[in-house]
Every structure is written in structure tokens, then in C-alpha cells.
Amino acid sequence: MFADVSQELKGKDCLTLFDYTPEQLTYLLQLAKDIKVKQKANQIYQPLKGKVLGMIFEKSSTRTRVSFESGIYQLGGTGLFLSSNDLQLGRGELISDTAKVLSGYLDGIMIRTFSQADVEALASDASIPVINGLTDDFHPCQVLADLQTIEEEKGKLQGLKIAYIGDGNNMAHSIMVGAVKMGMHFATAAPAEYLPKQSITEKAQKIADEQKVDINVTTDPVEAIKDADIVYTDVWASMGQESEQKKRETLFADYQVNKELLTHAKDDYLFMHCLPAHRGEEVTADIIDGDHSVVFQEAENRLHAQKALMVALMGD
């Protein structure tokens, strides 16, 4: 089965997890696991020797840049950091022109930007794989690492419940899609005006129905977190929303992940956060730094999951 899946993924883009079947996601997670084992054993594994990944950044990053740049190097290839200020994109060159030019130089493109439409336009005109490193709507690479972490800790994905508490942003969207694709129940809670986009929720609900799992979108954090195996949160104001920080602190005050709220989760819950975190805002320090937290394991797995993605999409 995996041989067929491997062929399906060669040359494919990674724009959202909607584009991937459960079998393809299972393959990527197994590959990430195998790659991590090799790295921990100091085995040289360079299937992308001679390959070049271009990394376009319109949004700053710690984990995305370092994990992709380290990952392509460890796989035998080279990563090129391409700030939008250094490209003609920053001076008005058409995305389609940039896509065609870069396709002649590179073996893959990772882009971290604001607009999902821009990523999709880039992929439409590129003849090489395009990987979404983050947009305002989706963050698929993070969720691949999240799923890898959950499977490592819980031994499975299917049947578990993940509760996302906070802003219905790119992380809420991507976790919802990744969870239901893998047979997990998903619940989320936020103030009414900050819930995930209805169009994305409706699309995910169709997948949930096929997989016979639940999606619960609510304004009640206690309802969302009840009996959760995994509790996830993110900052209340993401990049580009700094002017709303004070307003959001007031609106989200009842959505802080703290000891009291977590009494409604399962006793052996995992706490997850994509980082960076604001201790004392979306989560208290005793939780993110406590025994249930796997945030740094999760961050490390960005490296292994993205290496698997690059091997699958860019490899020969």
C-alpha cells in the first residue's frame, strides 16, 4: 500500500491537509517516525542530495525557518532563504512569473505568508512542489508534527478527542482538518466572533461524517474540553493582529487554559501549543511547563515531519 502512496505524493503540493487522504497522512507520519529514528541513531540519510529548497518568508519565523533549513541540509540538500523584500515579488512582480522562474532554479518551494490565495496561485503556476509554511488560514506542517507527537505519546490517533481552546485561526482550521482525517474527535471554543470560518468547518464536517467522528464548535470552553485527550491552544493575537491585543485579552479572558479548566479534561491529557506562547495569557505557566506538556517535543517534531514531507514530495 505504501509504495502506491509514495508514488501519489511525488511532486504533490502541500497547501492544506484537505488535499491529503488519510492513507497519505499515515504514510507521512510513518516516514517521519522512521526519519526521527535514523537521526537519533546518528544514521546518515540523504535522499535529497543535490536538491534545492527555496524558502520564501513574508512572515518572520523561528521554528519554520530553522526546521526547514536544518531539515533540507540533513537530507543532503540546500535551503535558500528568500525574504520577500529581496525578491521582485516585493516590487510587484506577478506571482505567476515568480513561480515559473523559481521552477527553473529549484526543486521545491516553501512559502510562509499571509494570504492562502497567494500560496495557491504560486502552486498553480509552479512546476515543482509548493509547501505552505503558514498562511492566515492554514498551517499544515505544524499539524503533521502535532499528529506525530500525539501518536508518539498516546500510541494511536483514531478515537482520541482533541480540544482547541482559543482563536479560530489557522491552527484551529488545520488541527480540525488533520484530526478528522485521522479519525479523531475535534472540539473548539472561542467567543462567537472568533470561531473558525464556517466554510472550512462545513468542509471538515463532511470528512468527519465519513470518518464517523464528531466536530463540536462552541462558545463554551468547558463543553469543548470535556473528556479531551489532548488540549491545544495558541496565542490570542497572531502576527498582524497586534493592534487587537488588548481587545482580545478582554474577550478571551474566560478561555485561558489553566488548572481549573483542565479539571474537565481526562486525567492523562496532553497539553500542546504551536509556540511562541504568552504565559499568563492563553495558558498559565504551570500548565505549559508542567508534566502534561509536550510543547518542546512537538516543536522538535516539526523537523522530522517536514523532512518526511520534503522526501515524499521532492524525492526521486
274 among known catalytic residues: yes
239 is in an annotated binding site: yes
Going by their DSSP bridges, the two strands 161-165 and 185-189 should be labelled as parallel
64 is in an annotated binding site: yes
Which is catalytic among the residues 116, 142, 148, 306? 142
Which is catalytic among the residues 139, 173, 185, 248? 139
DSSP label of 235: -
Nearest to 232 by CA among 277, 200, 191, 202: 277
141 is in an annotated binding site: yes
Which is catalytic among the residues 234, 248, 273, 306? 234
248 among known catalytic residues: no
256 is in an annotated binding site: no
150 beta partners: none
CA angle 78, 238, 236 (to 5 degrees): 140
88 is in an annotated binding site: yes
Hey, which bits of the chain come out as E strands? Answer: 52-57, 78-83, 108-112, 130-134, 161-165, 185-189, 215-218, 230-233, 270-273
Which is catalytic among the residues 24, 302, 304, 306? 302
302 is in an annotated binding site: yes
91 among known catalytic residues: no
Phi, psi of 302 (to 5 degrees): -55, -40
* 159 three-state secondary structure: coil
139 among known catalytic residues: yes
DSSP label of 279: B
Residue type (1 letter), 200: I
139 is in an annotated binding site: yes
Q: Three-state SS across 172-217?
A: HHHHHHHHHHCCCEEEEECCHHHCCCHHHHHHHHHHHHHHCCCEEE
245 is in an annotated binding site: no
238 is in an annotated binding site: yes
140 is in an annotated binding site: yes
234 among known catalytic residues: yes
Which is catalytic among the residues 13, 74, 107, 112? 112
74 among known catalytic residues: no
**Catalytic residue positions, numbered:** 112, 139, 142, 234, 274, 302
Q: Which residues are annotated as a binding site?
A: 61-64, 88, 112, 139-142, 170, 234, 238-239, 274-275, 302
Q: Which residues are annotated as a binding site for L-ornithine?
A: 170, 234, 238-239
Q: Which residues are annotated as a binding site for carbamoyl phosphate?
A: 61-64, 88, 112, 139-142, 274-275, 302
